[in-house]
A = this chain, B = another copy of it.
Amino acid sequence: MTDNLMRASVLLEQGRVALVDRPIPEPGPKEVLVRVSSVGVCGSDCHYFEHGRIGPYVVDEPLILGHEASGEIVAVGRGVDAARVGSRVSIEPQRPCRTCSQCKAGRYNLCPSMVFLATPPVDGAFVEYLSVPSDFAHDVPATVSMEAAALLEPLSVALWACAKAQVGLGSSVLVAGAGPIGVITAQVARAAGATTVIVSDVAPGRRDWALRFGATATEDPLTDSPLDGVVDAFIDASGVPSAVRRGIGAVRPAGTVVLVGMGGDEMTLPLSTIQNRELLLTGVFRCANTWPRAVALAAEGLVDLDSLVTGTFGIADVDGALRAARDPSHMKVVVRPGS
């Protein structure tokens, strides 16, 4: 930090990131300024990097990526207790309007005026300093590492998915896709008391990860027979149409289907199975009110996030981080702007 400038890693155009100087932001009213410590690389970051867009969201001017972030509060804006300075925090990367009907109903993730980090044209967290709403900078205890604090974001997605899937004591769950979201979802399902957690993935190495983190069994969709009407819930973390159809068929009558993976604008679904079994199908779009529970789970050691980190990169090497995150031998890659 020199002369109120900080380093930021900017996606200049599809496939090209560069380190540039940017002014350190001032925390506005009810905001806190966070010195960023760790930022997880998400599949969406990679997608913007490779394709320059995700659906309707197009990168048509320089954009800072990264939205799974942690750090330390170094300054506070008006209306925030100065005692927060020094707090280690996990950042919830959203800024809802707080006044629309969705916000007031407790579903601020569905706010039509949402400002979300690293979604064009809103800059993200591959920076040294970030100003965020104070109540969206959640204190974490010293027992939670800064890497784990960053990964409370995907943990929140998993919590949100398991809540929508009604996973609880004695549940049986099928999870498709053993990437970071799938593996964390398996852990969360287990922490919620699920007694059967089956993770499906075509890659043997990924299935091994799942077995280390919550899965009670795995299946290979290419060779194993599909399950038929036996699990309480199916959570898709793959976005692959064949996996979604196979997974829906695995659910018992009155069970749940939660689609987390992005599978395109349209998908052909097994309608008569959904109807005849009265399945409850829904999707996940960001999450709401999950952070306090995410903090508690990590603090109590009910999920293990640190062991998922397979690579760390400095802010000068976000390009390397984005490429590594696409390498199947990596589970989770983290950028450390503060190092």
Are B110's CB and A293's CB within 8 A? no
Tell me which of B262, B270, B285, B294 contacts A266 (CB under 8 A): B270
A-B contacts, 12 of them at CB < 8 A, read: A55-B272, A104-B106, A104-B108, A104-B288, A105-B106, A159-B169, A170-B297, A195-B296, A268-B269, A275-B283, A276-B283, A278-B284
A87 within 8 A of B: no
Q: Can you add 16 more A-B contacts, CB < 8 Å, to A168-B168, A169-B302?
A: A99-B135, A100-B135, A110-B277, A159-B169, A163-B168, A168-B192, A169-B297, A192-B192, A259-B271, A259-B274, A266-B269, A267-B268, A275-B285, A279-B282, A279-B283, A280-B280
Describe A's contact surface by its main secondary structure. mixed
Closest approach, in angstroms, between the C-beta of A248 and any C-beta of chain B? 11
The number of chain A residues with a CB under 8 A from chain B is 69
Contact with B along A46-70 (1 / 0, CB 8 A): 0000000001000000000000000
Which A residues between 141 and 160 are near B, CB-CB below 8 angstroms?
A: 159
Closest approach, in angstroms, between the C-beta of A250 and any C-beta of chain B? 16
A263-B274 contact given A170-B292, A193-B297, CB 8 Å threshold = no
Are A104's CB and B289's CB within 8 A? yes
A78 within 8 A of B: no
Kindly list chain B residues whose C-beta atoms are within 8 Å of the C-beta of A264.
271-272
A253 within 8 A of B: yes
Closest approach, in angstroms, between the C-beta of A150 and any C-beta of chain B? 19
Q: Nearest B residue to A259 by beta-carbon distance? A: B275
Contact with B along A21-60 (1 / 0, CB 8 A): 0000000001000000000000000000000000100000
A240 within 8 A of B: no
A133 within 8 A of B: yes
Are B169's CB and A278's CB within 8 A? no
Closest approach, in angstroms, between the C-beta of A311 and any C-beta of chain B? 28
Task: Report Cα–Cα, A19/B322, bound state, in Å.
Answer: 69
Kindly list chain B residues whose C-beta atoms are within 8 Å of the C-beta of A267.
268-269, 271
A327 within 8 A of B: no
Contact with B along A80-110 (1 / 0, CB 8 A): 0000000000000000001111111111111
